[in-house]
Amino acid sequence: MDKIRIVGGNELNGVIPISGAKNAALPLMIASLLTDETLTLENVPRLADVALLTRILTNHGVDYSLNGKRAGEDILTGQTMNLTARAIIDTTAPYDLVAKMRASFWVIGPLLARMHTARVSLPGGCAIGTRPVDLFLMGLERLGAKIDVAQGYVQADAPGGLVGNRIVFPKVSVGATHTVMMAASLARGETVIENAAREPEVADLARCLNAMGARISGAGTSTIVIEGVDRLRGARHRVVSDRIEAGTYAMAVAMTGGDVLLDGAEADLIEEPIRILRAVGVSVEATNRGIRVKRNGAGLTAVDVETQPFPGFPTDLQAQFMALMTRAKGRSVITETIFENRFMHVQELARFGARIQLDGQKAIVEGVERLTGAPVMATDLRASVSLVIAGLVAEGETTVSRVYHLDRGFEKLEEKISRCGAVVERISG
């Protein structure tokens, strides 16, 4: 298994290109199941999750191709993917594929909408809580599907097709919003989703679906209206930039000091993280190329954070922020409200010498003067990069194992930060 070796102590200075968002690319790829024409996606990140989802889609009959790299193109730029689901040859998404990545469960919506039947394994993915699929199934049932769950699979059927309806989610769910929005795009009549997720990736999916001929309004707000159409066509769409990657590298610069331009980052997607970083003592400014992050060597100020659905502070930046707070002056309270088991990185951060106490869904971080390099182990996707952030300032050498978690969500991380002065290398094992 690969490891990442880091020697701490260097500032980050230079330019880090921000990739297309994984959390947008995955539902966009799944949307290709809704049409028999080609969906072309630009700025698709080179990630393990993208490769796995490609395998799952080909199992359903999707043909795909990747455009060749152009002369002079940077290796860190996104790729262009062409997806064509001319004929769906299999409406079953098997356990051995779906269990590896939770987002692959979302194929149930397009398969049901287009083929009127789907059999999909219950999902897997990061071990960060139960993350049930009850909201997905409730939404599909409201569209007229008959749902049966047995032997680890969801069987969904709508012999006469799906029919629009009003759906009120009892709590916000990004995945359920994605799934129902895709399914409703081919349903008869109007669907209204209340208490919908407001994340930028939801709005990005709606923009793509509208380019394919869907009639969706309100995406990015808590109420989404979908007027069903008979068929969708092919389209060309550019994946929105990754706000989680941008926030992660902003925190890495805040941790190490230095001056970095996050090329292609969109400040309006991370307004709350930017507000928090400024309170910590970091300069964050939007430019015509992206976001510039600077820290001139002054100390970090402890700040309390509570994770919330967008536009609040993202749960996917919680671990990274906790790493940053280990070196802040004072006491920070970090409250996790989204997932009930997302503090697994605490014990690994403690191996650096961090002082963190857990109290239910709160983590109390007492900043320390120094961290010391240590062998640590990634426990999930976002936790893995928090260990890299700690390693960048820890005295001596840090090795992060189980970095396959990292490869699921961060494109060419070692190359990006080493170009800015980090001493980091991947060790194949």
Give tens-digit pLDDT for 71-130.
555 666 789 999 999 999 999 999 998 888 888 999 999 999 999 999 999 885 444 344
How many CB atoms are located within 10 Å of the residue 88 CB?
17
Is 42 found in the same domain as 13?
no
Domain boundary among 211, 238, 265: 238
Is 401 found in the same domain as 366?
yes
Number of domains in the chain: 2
Verify cis geometry, omega within 30 degrees of 0, for the bond prior to 170: no
Nearest CA to 387 among 422, 362, 350?
350
pLDDT attached to residue 126: 42
Residues 394-404 as b/e (b if ≥16 CB within 10 A, e otherwise) read beeebbbbebe
Is 143 found in the same domain as 250?
no
The annotation status of 134 as a binding-site residue, yes or no, is yes
The annotation status of 174 as a binding-site residue, yes or no, is yes
Give the pair of three-digit tokens for residue 116: 């009127």
The annotation status of 96 as a binding-site residue, yes or no, is no
The annotation status of 43 as a binding-site residue, yes or no, is no
Coil/strand/helix, residue 142: helix
Q: How far apart are CA 206 and CA 226, in angstroms?
A: 10
What is the CATH number for 352?
A: 3.65.10.10
The annotation status of 135 as a binding-site residue, yes or no, is yes
**DSSP H or E stretch at residue 15:** strand 12-17
The annotation status of 217 as a binding-site residue, yes or no, is no
By CB neighbour count within 10 A (0-12 exposed, 13-18 middle, 19+ buried), where does 114 fall? buried
Sign of CA dihedral 322, 324, 327, 331: negative
Is 211 found in the same domain as 264?
no
Domain boundary among 188, 214, 238: 238
The annotation status of 241 as a binding-site residue, yes or no, is no
Is 278 found in the same domain as 229?
no
Per-residue pLDDT of the chain (429 residues; tens, 9 = 90+): 899 999 999 999 999 999 999 999 999 999 999 999 999 999 999 999 999 999 999 999 999 999 865 555 566 678 999 999 999 999 999 999 888 888 899 999 999 999 999 999 988 544 434 457 899 999 999 999 999 998 889 999 999 999 999 999 999 999 999 999 999 999 999 999 999 999 999 999 999 999 999 999 999 999 999 999 999 999 999 999 999 999 999 999 999 999 999 999 999 999 999 999 999 999 999 999 999 999 977 799 999 999 999 999 999 999 999 999 999 999 999 999 987 778 989 999 999 999 999 999 999 999 999 999 999 999 887 778 999 999 999 999 999 999 988 888 899 999 999 999 999 999 987
Domain boundary among 193, 209, 238: 238
pLDDT attached to residue 128: 34
Q: How far apart are CA 226 and CA 249, in angstroms?
A: 36
Q: At what angle do helices 108-115 and 174-184 cross, to 10 degrees?
A: 10
Is 7 found in the same domain as 62?
no
Is 260 found in the same domain as 177?
no
pLDDT attached to residue 7: 98
Residue tagged 């208490």 (tokens): 195
State the number of CA atoms in the 13 A half-sphere of 250 facing the CB: 35
In sequence order, the β-bridge partners of residue 261 are 15, 292
Q: Is 420 a catalytic residue?
A: no
Inter-CA distances, 343 with 71, 294, 358, 386, 401, Å: 44, 28, 8, 11, 18
pLDDT attached to residue 97: 87
Is 330 found in the same domain as 261?
yes
Q: What domain range includes position 327?
A: 3-19+241-427
pLDDT attached to residue 42: 96
Is 190 found in the same domain as 94?
yes
Angle at 318 between CA 313 and CA 320, to 5 degrees: 120
Q: Which of 12, 16, 24, 126 is catalytic?
A: 126
pLDDT attached to residue 125: 46
Inter-CA distances, 429 with 4, 20, 112, 329, Å: 10, 29, 42, 38
Is 326 found in the same domain as 265?
yes
pLDDT attached to residue 67: 83
Is 304 found in the same domain as 234?
no
Query: Could you report the per-residue pLDDT of 181-233, keeping only the tens digit for each?
Result: 999 999 999 999 999 999 999 999 999 999 999 999 999 999 999 999 999 99
The annotation status of 192 as a binding-site residue, yes or no, is no
Nearest CA to 323 among 341, 296, 306, 300?
300
Give the pair of three-digit tokens for residue 290: 């992206």
Is 180 found in the same domain as 269?
no
The annotation status of 329 as a binding-site residue, yes or no, is no
